[in-house]
Structure 1
Amino acid sequence: MKKKLLLLLGSVCVFSFMSQAQKIGRYTVYGGVLGGGNYSHYDFCDKPDDFDNAGRFGWNAGLYFGVPVTKTFSIEPQVMFNRVGGQFLYKDKVANPFNEDYRADYISVPVLFKFNVGRNFDVFAGPQFDFLMKAREVNSGVDVKGDMKNTDIAATGGFELFPRSRVTFYGRYYRGFQNVADGGTPAFYNEGVQAGLKIKLFGKQIKAAPIVVPVPIKPTVVDSDGDGVPDDQDKCPNVPGLAKYNGCPIPDSDNDGVNDEEDRCPTIPGVAKYHGCPVPDSDGDGINDEEDQCPTIRGVAKYHGCPIPDTDNDGVNDEEDKCPTVPGTRENHGCPEIKKETIAKVQKAANNIFFQTGKAVILAKSNAQLNEVVKVLNADPSLYLDIKGHTDNVGKAEANQKLSQQRADAVKAYMVKKGISVDRLTSAGYGDSQPIAPNTTAAGRQKNRRVEMVLQNYK
């Protein structure tokens, strides 16, 4: 919200100066296109000892629009595409065999305050608002946008050569103020330099318009609307009115068609039926009484001013109730509680599912327990089963995630083969992200290699 406010204030300042710039009569507004190269890197406030950071080259292109305020000062907002980034060079090649090269694409909106300090030389400085479009680790091709902050505020400053010419050379430095690691540590910030050319497409120097001195005219008493109030005292000279209101009709401050002398709510638009006041809302639910089907009970517009219904009268309204026609409990989202012995039977089966080592092949000794789960689902068609696969932390996280998903899918496929409808089953793999025991011991790792099965009677 703070960034949006700053951007709005900057825009207001720019356009408020437009009319002033024209009155000065020295230069028109101007604008064009720009483009050039970037050299950027990430600046660390507290860089770790295990790597160095290096820069990378990129490019920029965009549009600019300038508003001269005085002969030597102007305001110039720009909209640019910026390709920036940086490299992380790890010293320990055993722990981190590959360096990381981040490339990030931003839409940047710098607002430059420019000062002419010589015939062919301008300097400038100002804020820059950056909006992340995409980010990628170049070596692996992995999308890293989710690891980075989507916006940034930076300061920028630099110079221009031949700023009054059709083609201008520019150079600038910028430094971000926000941790682009999305709040993570170590914190790093955008920093870099840019250089390129600006090509002016419109704008020129103009002369000030001559000052015209009006010739005084002898005033005469005129009453154009014949209401007895002379035009020089009449604030509504073409509309008959009253002296009480300086020659204007009785006012209607809220423009509701009921004049203020008859309006009981003169500053709030209303209707004549209620003497200029709005249609009342007795229960204060934002729906006036003429449209409210429950005018004395607070409700919502979707139900014409009545409360959200609770069809099964279980204390959970229909919009939150997963089983709106069957009484249940709030803890189970409005559905009936599942029997504890049924949950225990499914949990026992989940604890006795075994796979071939490193594979998603279910061992035959698991079938008896899986068949018990099939019986539970066949006995109650209202039940759904959520299957979750987990692994220990041995091996790479990506491989563990893939294996856990395959194992959950294998259990789901077994259930479908036994006649359970696929729309009653969900499966997901979580890799090694949710351990239930320390992975530092063999016993702990064995516990973490598991499949969980959770019964639900709602989707």
Structure 2
Amino acid sequence: MKKKFLFLTGVVCMCAFSALHAQDMTTTNKDHYSVYGGLLGGANYSNLRVTDKPAGLSTDWRWDWAAGIFVGFPIGKTISLEPQALFSRMGGKFTQTGIKTDNQLDYLSVPVLVKLHAGKYFDFMVGPQFDFLMSAKDKEHDKDIKDNIKKNDFALTAGFELFPRHVVSFYARYIHGFDKVYEDNSGLSTAKVYNQGVQAGLKVRLFGKHAKATPPPPPPPPPPAPLDSDNDGIPDNEDKCPNQAGVAKYGGCPIPDSDGDGINDEEDKCPQQAGVAKYNGCPIPDTDGDGVNDEEDKCPTIAGVAKYNGCPIPDTDGDGVNDEEDKCPTIAGVKENNGCPAIEKFSASAVQFVTGGATLTKGGNTALSQLALYMKKYPETKVEINGYTDNTGKPEANQKLSEKRAMAAKTYLTKKGIGADRITTNGYGDGSPIADNSTKEGKAKNRRVEFKVSQ
């Protein structure tokens, strides 16, 4: 025991000498710790770790205490060496075949910690720990077991310290033993038993402190810079635009933008024509010249109209009559019938009525029969029938007569099998003449029925 203690004392002294020598080598104007030291105390939560555990053996942790002294030696700005000397009560509990033991092991523990100062409020620490057995006892049976315990132990320990620059700090560290602590223990001869534990507590610093770096003297003030009102790096006495930031190439003035499009002339491919950055300062192109630029034009190479996003007005049925003018946009027709198919052998003027009445003439029936055939051939079509009169008689009577004549034409068509929902009628009386009512010929033209086909 004495030889090991002397050896450990030598190791600590060598570490202390190295640390002090390293501290002397550092410059005095750096931020650093001075040599420090004090007292510490805390709790041990320890266990005897067993490998190759015999059948029926269980282990448990036990609480106890530790106390001692510490001294720290700075090594540079962020690392220090901190040896400690502690009385540390450790051990663990065993239960085997119903028999319990509470093994209390008292050590002189000497951890030699390397501390890394990670910040103002936090340090990491790691290093070896040398443990020298002072006494050993089975508290469960009040029995001395020192003869069965190895007299020293080697462990590694690591942890952290909170508020290390304060007078009082908190620390916690884990201890992991590497030497078998039982030399001979009946029932455990095949097992390997090691120390392990967690120690946490408080440290009270009695001397030493953290030294702040002495800031270097401030440098002399620089000579005053020449006045540059717009901060463009060109002195006012050389700047043609002293209140507007610019470049040397233009005498301190900004790069010009002749067309005012926000793109300076050096980057603008169309400097005399306002444009956009995407096209290097040129306007958005309109390839087909229809007034809709290519970015909005769905048909950029075919002239169209804005309503159809730059495409031509569609002609769905391909009959040469665009959909906006085509009354039958999905049935190919002729321009003369507003895009609907032509009605063969039909003339609206042939639809005649008896004088002063709404009865169809024979010729009128014949004409309407052609219209019925047409509507059967094209079941998608509808027809609007509008009746008109001349100005003979009272307007009220003419209005009723025009309505009756339009309805008479509808009735004929429905009898021919045309659905009534495909036919609408209107009467306009004498209000819409197409010829002069002062002549017999004009009156004849005004007494008419018009047919408008649609889809």
For Structure 1 versus Structure 2, the TM-score category normalised by the shorter chain is 0.3 to 0.5
Scaled by the length of structure 2, what TM-score is found?
0.43
Scaled by the length of structure 1, what TM-score is found?
0.42
